[in-house]
Amino acid sequence: MHKRFAQGATTLPQEYFTSAEIFANESERIFSRNWLCVSRSSTLPQPGSYSLVNLLGESVILTRDSEGNARAFYNVCRHRGTQLCTETQGQFSGKIQCPYHTWTYSLSGELIGAPNMKDVPGFDRGAYPLHSIATAEWEGFLFLNLSEAPEPFEIAFAPLLDRFQAWRLSDLRIAHTITYEVNANWKLIFQNYNECYHCPTVHPLLAKLTPYKSAMNDFDEGPFLGGSMQISVSGGSMTMDGRACASALCEEEKDVVHYYTLLPSMFLSLHPDYVLVHRLERVRPDLTRIQCEWLFHPDAMTRADFHPDPAIEFWDLTNKQDWNVCELSQKGIRSRAYVPGPYSNLESLLAAFDREYLRTMEET
């Protein structure tokens, strides 16, 4: 665990939160090159299961091939570009077929049928597979990378690969989902999550459950940031009444909550009894869509006395408090009066986020 120092850093200039040009550059330099969490693995329960996701304006088909491996393809037929799928989720019958001229692909993306093309001189079905997208599965999450030559997931996520095994994340199931739209730049939301300087004022209930100065950072530089906070009452959790609403996922960490940001699109919050996941999607420089999922162990979810509402209500309240101050920040930053201000030592992770963000933006 590391002590926190902001090292005299200041907030970013106005244009980083308002500029359409910078927003477009982020798409190319950050979001098109990094591994983005798009769903839980359970959304594809068997070979042929599929769902559509929108990623940086691209329609993407997620599916499993006949061997059960996760696959992702651009939703574009290799014949004349027609979208192959329109339903947001479903089940392929062993193949993917274009609705226009019935070009047909295997679940691995190979072209296996092209009517009336065998007489076309030089036509080779092997030259026209679906355009694939790199996929990875980790701890029950599905990740995509739009880069044509992505850094291998095992290298990019090396610091985290085995870190959370005690929580059995792969076994957890979604108990509830809420999608929020926040009128603020995505970086303000990342920064807000990475500090508790605001907690006594903005989150009185959260501050009661976890002392805001108890935070300790075990990742304080790079794309992954965060650490732990102590829970005030032994055996408690982050709920409306402060009591756990399920058995402990990790006995060794039952009095601690861990908060991590995974640049550029994911927050991971590990509680004694459940895990909270935020996935961010940039819409505009001043609009971010956030999907929030509450994950519990399936054994807890099958109990007659399972009641996740105290956890859901707590974070729905806390989220909305955060979104409000992020929106206020966005409004203030737009003013001609805004100039970068100094970070406190309680905001050391914000300074670290800015360094990693600027480093990535400057890469060619």
Please write the tens of the pLDDT for every residue from 183-208: 999 999 999 999 999 999 999 999 99
Do 199 and 316 share a domain, yes or no?
Answer: yes
Of the chain, the percentage scoring pLDDT greater than 70 comes to: 98
Average pLDDT, the chain: 95
Out of 154, 188, 207, a domain closes at 154
Do 197 and 277 share a domain, yes or no?
Answer: yes
**What is the reported pLDDT for 364?**
56
pLDDT digits (tens, 9 = 90+) for 217-244: 899 999 999 999 999 999 999 999 999 9
Out of 154, 180, 201, a domain closes at 154
Residue 231: which CATH number? 3.90.380.10
Do 225 and 330 share a domain, yes or no?
Answer: yes
pLDDT digits (tens, 9 = 90+) for 60-70: 999 999 999 99
Using CA atoms, how far apart are residues 103 and 116, in angstroms rounded to an integer?
10
Asked whether residue 178 carries a pLDDT value surpassing 60, the answer given is yes
Do 174 and 122 share a domain, yes or no?
Answer: no
Q: Is residue 45 part of a domain?
A: yes
Strands (E), the chain: 36-40, 49-55, 58-64, 70-74, 89-91, 96-97, 104-105, 111-113, 134-138, 141-145, 173-182, 216-219, 224-230, 256-262, 266-270, 275-284, 287-296
Out of 134, 154, 174, a domain closes at 154
Asked whether residue 118 carries a pLDDT value surpassing 60, the answer given is yes
Q: Is residue 2 part of a domain?
A: no
Domain encompassing residue 53: 36-154
**What is the reported pLDDT for 264?**
97
Do 170 and 125 share a domain, yes or no?
Answer: no
Q: Is residue 119 part of a domain?
A: yes
Q: Is residue 305 part of a domain?
A: yes
Asked whether residue 363 carries a pLDDT value surpassing 80, the answer given is no
- Return the half-sphere exposure (C-beta side, CA atoms, 13 A cut-off) of residue 31: 20
Q: Is residue 102 part of a domain?
A: yes
Listing DSSP states for 115-141 in one string gives: TT-TTSTT--GGG-PPPB-EEEEETTE
Using CA atoms, how far apart are residues 304 and 189, in angstroms rounded to an integer?
36
Considering its fold, how many domains does the chain have in total? 2
Mean pLDDT, range 130-143, rounded to an integer? 98
Residues 356 and 223: beta-carbon distance below 8 Å: yes
Closest CA to 172 of 89, 273, 73: 273
**What is the reported pLDDT for 5?**
57
Cβ within 8 Å of residue 130, ≥6 positions away = 73, 74, 76, 78, 96, 105, 109, 111
Q: Is residue 5 part of a domain?
A: no
Do 86 and 209 share a domain, yes or no?
Answer: no
Using CA atoms, how far apart are residues 188 and 169, in angstroms rounded to an integer?
27
Residue 131: which CATH number? 2.102.10.10
Structure-token pair, residue 322: 């955060």
Residues 162 and 169: beta-carbon distance below 8 Å: no
DSSP, res 229: E
Do 150 and 190 share a domain, yes or no?
Answer: no
Residues 275 and 267: beta-carbon distance below 8 Å: no
Please work out, in degrees rounded to the nearest 5, the angle formed at the alpha carbon of residue 144 by the alpha carbons of 290 and 299: 65
pLDDT digits (tens, 9 = 90+) for 284-297: 999 999 999 999 99
Q: Is residue 7 part of a domain?
A: no
- pTM of structure: 0.94
Do 139 and 170 share a domain, yes or no?
Answer: no
Do 213 and 346 share a domain, yes or no?
Answer: yes
Q: Is residue 1 part of a domain?
A: no
Do 250 and 118 share a domain, yes or no?
Answer: no
Size (the chain), residues: 364
Do 63 and 134 share a domain, yes or no?
Answer: yes
Do 103 and 223 share a domain, yes or no?
Answer: no
